[in-house]
Amino acid sequence: MVEKTCGATVAVDAMGGDLGPSEVVAAIRLGLGSPDWTKLHKIILTGRQEELLPLLREAGLENHPKVVLEHAPDVISMDEKPKAAFRRKEASLLRVIDLVRTGQADGAVSCGNTGALMFSSTLILKKMSGVERPALPAVIPSRNHHFILLDAGAQPETTSRQLVHNAILGEAYARAIFPIAKPRVGLLTIGTEEGKGTARIAEAHDLLKQLKGEINYIGLIEGFDTFRSVADVVVCDGFTGNILLKTLEACLVTLKDVLKEEITANPIRKIGALLNKGAFASIKRTFSPEHYAGAPLLGLNGLVVKAHGSSNREFIKSAVRIACDALEHDMNAHIGDTIEKANALAKSAPVTPAGVEFSG
């Protein structure tokens, strides 16, 4: 049994990532020596004791006052089905969620199976009152500012009311991680004119306009606007969001490969690339996902942060910092009040099933 300490206590699944527990322990060592973790008071590592103890000893963390080891003998694989994974009660992934449920940890971080993490978190922690479905945000780097995209894949099909919930969840998250008092919220569709898009978009748009006193809703936006600093929060369903996210990732990888090929094509270009080394380094920093390498599952009675399965030590360190930032800003308190008002407005509004087109 882990006794909860004052301040931010974060439980980390040490077994879930592709790079194994050694990378997680390296992240802990890196984070404890970093100013990024000043808000952290305790970190609980869940996993196989026989594997983690030698790693902690080698890293000089075996008796560290901020590090606690919680034995969890089972490991959920990346390809395991969510329902089957949920039955693995001794797994490290389920253990971090349960530590949040029991109050022994304030938040949890895992690089493990996304479906299992979402399914188990929803069942163990339960949804916040009034929230129909949790959402997964993604922070997208841009030239002048970063923006939050949600849903990024948690729920492929949503109703108009759930799109409104996504807007509220995303706005609260933006205030927690960006230095913005009133984040601008835009609803993604195929055009900015009134009536563009599906019936669900039109209904969500009408509801969001009525919530302008609660969130800074700027209206409909389209794909062109996402990288023009128009909105800080871009709202869509999980189907659209996941396609957009993966398309952007593919474009960046392709651009990087083409650029590398072109600037090394001949000696003259190589000299030019060397002279512009500083500019390339600046571009790399701007578009690096490292600073926002984890995403919380929004809308639950507790904080769970999902990091990418292939996260390295820097990314895992960043995910723990995100958990601490979210806890410091107490996102859920604001979310609950606004969700209640949104649901009151939507009570008499029609709810259109996903896929029904709006003829506008």
Whether residue 207 is found in the same domain as residue 270: yes
225 near 147, Cβ under 8 Å? no
CATH of the domain at 297: 3.40.718.10
Cα gap 16→74, rounded to integer Å: 10
Q: pLDDT tens digits for the chain (360 residues)?
A: 444 444 699 999 999 889 999 999 999 999 998 888 888 989 999 999 999 999 999 999 999 999 999 999 999 999 999 999 999 999 999 999 999 999 999 999 999 998 899 999 999 999 998 898 889 898 888 777 789 999 888 788 889 999 999 999 999 999 888 878 899 999 999 988 887 888 899 999 999 999 888 899 999 999 889 888 899 999 999 899 888 888 887 887 788 788 888 888 888 877 877 777 776 666 666 565 555 568 899 999 999 999 988 889 999 999 999 898 888 877 777 787 788 888 888 776 555 554 444 333
pTM of the model: 0.82
Does one domain contain both 143 and 255? yes
* pLDDT at res. 10: 96
Q: How far apart are the first and last CA of the chain?
A: 59
Q: Give the pLDDT of residue 68.
A: 95
Burial 18-45, CB ≥16 within 10 A → b, else e: ebebbbbbbbbbbbbeeebbeebbbbbb
Q: Is 197 left (phi over 0), alpha (psi -120 to 50) or beta?
A: left
pLDDT at res. 251: 83
Q: Total domain count for the chain?
A: 2
Residue in 98, 105, 96, 78 with CA at minimum distance from that of residue 19: 78
Q: What is the pLDDT of residue 140?
A: 86
- Choose among 67, 164, 86, 159: nearest CA to 125: 86
- pLDDT of 226 reads 87
Q: 210 is in which domain, residue-wise?
A: 138-285+341-346
- Residue 353 in any domain: the answer is no
Residue 252 placed within a domain = yes
If 0-12 CB within 10 Å is exposed, 13-18 middle and 19+ buried, where does residue 198 land? buried
Residue 289 is predicted with a pLDDT of 56
Cβ within 8 Å of residue 324, ≥6 positions away: 8, 10, 37, 39, 40, 107
Give CA–CA dist 341/336, Å, rounded: 9
Domain for residue 74, yes or no?
Answer: yes
Residues 195, 320, single domain; the answer is no
Cα distances (Å, whole numbers) of residue 214 to 60, 180, 224:
48, 15, 26
Per-residue DSSP letter, 135: B
Query: Domain check: are 240 and 120 in the same one?
Result: no
Residue 356, in any domain of the structure: no
Cis upstream peptide for 36 (omega within 30°): no
What 3-state class would DSSP assign to 92?
Answer: helix
* Same structural domain, 307 and 175: no
Q: Report pLDDT for 280.
A: 64
> Which pLDDT score, from 0 to 100, does residue 283 have?
62
Q: What pLDDT is stored for residue 142 in this prediction?
A: 76
Kindly state whether residues 101 and 146 are assigned to the same domain. Answer: no
8: three-class secondary structure by DSSP: strand
Task: Indicate whether 54 and 96 sit together in one domain.
Answer: yes
Do 269 and 150 reside in the same domain of the chain? yes
Q: What is the pLDDT of residue 288?
A: 58
